[in-house]
Amino acid sequence: MERQVMDSQIIAIVRECLEPKSVACSIAADTTVKSLMIDSLKMIQIVFEIEVHFGIEIPEHALFQVETVSDLVDLVRLSKAA
């Protein structure tokens, strides 16, 4: 799957999982999780939605390394390749 397509799909999932007030903010591949105020519970929800959408399983320990939306894309790519 082309990286830009995957980026946009993951950004859409992140946007859907955020609070309505956060949705107005711009989300790009280099947007940080911290700037979106994503806590651990919200991250689990986002990852669950990503896993369902792509039919993959992302290891829990990998979530601690996610700092940007691009890091989520990389996790999906690695999980799809495994």
Stated pTM of the model: 0.86
Residue 1 reports pLDDT greater than 80:
no
Please tell me the distance from the alpha carbon of residue 9 to that of residue 60, in angstroms, as a whole number: 21
Please tell me the distance from the alpha carbon of residue 4 to that of residue 37, in angstroms, as a whole number: 24
Q: What is the mean pLDDT of residues 7-20?
A: 89
Convert the pLDDT of each residue in 20-66 to its tens digit: 765 557 888 899 999 998 888 999 999 999 999 999 999 888 888 89
pLDDT of residue 60: 86
- Closest-CA residue to 46 (of 76, 1, 2, 81): 76
Q: What is the mean pLDDT of residues 17-21?
A: 77
Q: Does domain 3-81 have CATH number 3.40.50.300?
A: no
Domain ranges of the chain: 3-81
- Evaluate whether 50 touches 15 at the Cβ level (below 8 Å): no
